[in-house]
Chain A
Amino acid sequence: MTVLYILLPLSIILGGIFLAAFIWSVNKGQYDDLETPAKRMLFEDENKN
């Protein structure tokens, strides 16, 4: 069971990285508007040429 001493800290560090990513995205404003981007992506791109 000694493997736990490596795996557990590893999993918590991994979790911490994701949490940090989440906090970064919140501060970047990615969660400010949940409605518009969801609809914006539905529109087809028009041919730019």
Chain B
Amino acid sequence: MGINTTSSSIETKSDLVQESAPFCYHCGESAFSPVIEAGHNFCCRGCRLVFKLLKSRGLSKYYQIKNLYSEGERGAPVSEKKTDFSFLDHENFQKEYVTEIENELQIRFYLEGVHCSACLWLIEKSPEFIVGLNGCRLQLSSSVATLNFDESCSLSSLATEFKKLGYFPHPLKPNEKSESLARKEERDLLIKMGVAMACMGNIGLLSISIYAGADGTIARQFEWLSFLLLLPVILFSAIPFYKNALNSIKRKVISIDLPIVIALVAGTLGGMLNILKGTGVVFFDSMAALVFLLLLSRYVLMKARQGGVQSSRLEFFKSFGSCRRLIPSSGETENILASFLKPLDLILLKTGEMLPVDGLIMKGKVLADTSLLTGESKPSLLEQGQKIYSGSKVLGGEIVVKAEIVGDQTLLGRILEKVNQNILEKPPLLTQVDRLAQFFVTIVLFLAIGVFLFFAFQDNGHEGFLRALSLIIVTCPCALALATPLAFSSLIGKLAGRGIIIRSENVIEKISEAKNIFLDKTGTLTQGEFVVQDWEPKVSREDLASIVLALEEKSFHPIGTALVNYIKENFEYKTINLENWCETPGLGVEGELNGKKYQLKRFQESSIGLFEDELLILTINCQDGLRKDSRKSIEKLISMGLKTFILSGDCQTQVSSAAALLGLSGNQIFWNKGPEEKFEIMNEYNASIMVGDGANDALALGQASVGVAVKGSIDISLKAADIYLTNPGVGLITKLIAYSRETVKLIKRNLVLSLTYNAIGAALAIMGLINPLWAAILMPISSLTVLASTIYGTKKMRRFEKGELI
């Protein structure tokens, strides 16, 4: 009964809150139980802290700018956790990450949490209040800040300052090769586009006079001039198409580039022949326009991808972690980056820390959470002489571990390897649009060749050539090629602003098609920490809370911490000094008061009891609390027609009680599932989205049609996932699905539009009713219709944001 009564009380409470939840003054999230400061609401203490800090430094203008220029933008709540950045000051680290430029030191950080122009203002203002920081430039689209500083300021203090402002810094290695390559590629494309456009404009001017009826010498001279102007376009700007077409021939597939190249070559040669013969039309203007528009569409797509996530950006989160290394000679510890650890190093591990190596416990005893590897939410007790594996998180206690295996060969490293391999083996996603375009292009190509041959056999090669060329030009899928990236780019940009980072635009279609959604429980649906659900005294006494407090205050078990917080918030308590206090990890705590022995230990599964001389006087139910938005999100998912499942490595009672609170029935839950089993389940269910956060989810995330990693995800599941949510919880998933569905609808509409258009155009071209010139005029018109449809579609999505449709 205990669970049920609390569930209903939680329900009514959250229903009440949802109706009138104010928004956080700092980050804009709904503040379910607001913290109030200076008349403003805050969603958490972290946000309030940043507000106070900004106010004390006279930086309150941040909020003005935020309201003025960043309408609708939301950040993420600021975490209050303290992080020790002293590993940044380590010599090895500086050698790899810091560059020296003109007597100044430079480092780049990826700042997690940057979202709007007010962030830009605040971060670029930082040199005014951080001593030693001389310059700071932020690139908003990639959230990368470049800092110039001098010796008077340590890196760790810099990092701590940014952390305090609410932006978690991840250091970046300088000038990574892939990055400079990508930049070169982008600039290259831009220059090719510029050349194509300049030539297109000039050819266009010349062509107008020819179309207008210029004749004789002037017309011939203009034709020669436009031919000269076309040369840079054909020989320089169009290079990417030749390369792609060659590649596609090598891979024995037909890509859009192939007919483009054929049209370009045929058009140029044909036009040249016409000039030499002095008869017929030239259509160099449409060739140049074709190249320019196609390059433009590629540029738009490239920019769109940058709005999402580049693989290099995901690397930031990888291998990032520091730990304390014992220096044997002095007995002191230093904080260093985990990747600098060597075998036989001694590592000191304290509560809340995660072990980066496989090793042997040399000293101490801990309660460790190994859920990362096994999915088991119950902690296990490990002591001296036992092995401990990478990825284990210490819940309580302190140990010294001798590293045996470091780096890639650790258990965690090997799982990572496997995940990587799975990703490599996963075939690249072919979207419906790609497949359709391929099919379409093949047909057009064969049709064109057929038409040409048909006329050539009738000894009318010239007519055949004209008709085939018109056919290829009029059916050029560049409208589609431009509209689809545009739709994707606006979606990816919009989602990135909401904290949803998409690795590749190809998954959008998969999301819209998904039928099942699997949610991990621990850390995804729940907070990932224990919360007291139920407090049931068996006798009426006033000192129960004080006794429990005294028992648990010194405990390092997570339940103990939860109890202490709960008591301090809900009860009046006295400080009691217990005698003979002792804690047996895995069993409980006990102590004596006035000759009576008090024990707090596990009573039934997931509940604990307080015993006075072996007599039960109080039961407490502790659970990993559900996130506030979990129930609402799940209801929405179900209303969207998705079969919703919980897929957890946790025990049955934990999972089913969570499912009951979330309104899910018994056949929609899976419990006790290890990484391999989760993987199998993903294999069984097609068209499913998997949402998870632990390393135990990584395999499944890689296998699912769409893998979504939620905030707090360990790097490994991040690597396997297609999408990363920067805000905790599953609330963003509903948005992601709604947006994706709308975008796919839009793209399908565009497809139908352009296919109809192309079919009509193709028929006309084959019948010889339009010549290449008319084809070149009709082509941009079709592009315009598709573009108009895209713009209309994205407008509709804007209404989404205002909450009119969701």
Contacts and interface: CB of A to CB of B under 8 A. Distances in A.
B121 interface: yes
A22 B195 CA distance: 9
Interface stretch (B183-191, B378-386, B614-622, B636-644): B183-191
Contact of A15 (B65, B140, B190, B198): B198
A20 B120 CA distance: 32
Interface in B229-278: 229
B202 A23 contact: no
B202 A12 contact: yes
Interface string A13-38: 00110110011001101011111100
A42 interface: yes
A19 B194 contact: yes
A36 B194 contact: no
B397 interface: no
B138 A36 contact: yes
Contact of B120 (A18, A26, A29, A39): A39
Interface residues of B, number: 25
B225 interface: yes
Q: How large is the interface on A (under 10, 10 to 19, 20 to 34, 35 or more residues)?
A: 20 to 34
A23 B194 contact: yes
Contacts of B187: 26-27, 29, 31-32
Contact of A43 (B121, B183, B225): B121
A8 B138 CA distance: 45
A31 B140 contact: no
A18 B124 contact: no
B606 interface: no
Contact of A32 (B138, B186, B201, B229): B186
B140 A39 contact: yes
A40 B125 CA distance: 11
Interface in B377-406: none
A1 interface: yes
Contacts of B229: 12
Contact of A36 (B65, B120, B198, B303): B120
A26 B190 contact: yes
A36 B69 contact: no
B69 A19 contact: no
Which of A11, A32, A35 has most chain B Cβ within 10 Å? A35
A12 to B, nearest CB: 6
Contacts of A23: 191, 194
Given A39-B117, A42-B117, A26 B138 contact: no
B69 A32 contact: no
B139 interface: yes
Contact of A19 (B65, B117, B198, B303): B198
A26 B191 contact: yes
Contact of B198 (A1, A18, A26, A32): A18
A15 B201 CA distance: 9
A30 B715 CA distance: 34
B139 A15 contact: no
Contact of A39 (B69, B186, B194, B218): B69
Contact of B218 (A1, A19, A32, A34): A1
B175 to A, nearest CB: 14
Contact of A35 (B69, B140, B225): B140
B195 A19 contact: yes
Contacts of B438: none
Contacts of B186: 31-32
A19 B233 CA distance: 13
Interface string B138-172: 11110000000000000000000000000000000
A29 B180 CA distance: 12
Given A1-B218, A27-B187, A36-B140, A22 B120 contact: no
Contact of B139 (A18, A19, A36): A36
B225 A8 contact: yes
Given A27-B187, A32-B186, A33-B139, A40 B124 contact: yes
Contact of B194 (A22, A40, A42): A22
Given A19-B195, A31-B186, A34-B141, 14 more contacts: A12-B202, A15-B198, A15-B201, A22-B194, A22-B198, A26-B187, A26-B190, A26-B191, A33-B140, A35-B140, A36-B139, A36-B140, A36-B141, A43-B121
Interface of B: 65, 69, 117, 120-121, 124, 138-141, 183, 186-187, 190-191, 194-195, 198, 201-202, 205, 218, 225, 229, 303
Interface of A: 1, 4, 8, 11-12, 15-16, 18-19, 22-23, 26-27, 29, 31-36, 39-40, 42-43
14 contacts: A1-B218, A12-B229, A15-B201, A19-B195, A19-B198, A27-B191, A31-B187, A31-B190, A33-B141, A39-B69, A39-B120, A40-B120, A42-B69, A43-B117
The 8 A-B residue pairs with the shortest CB-CB distance, nearest first, are A39-B117, A36-B140, A19-B198, A35-B141, A22-B194, A35-B140, A26-B190, A33-B139
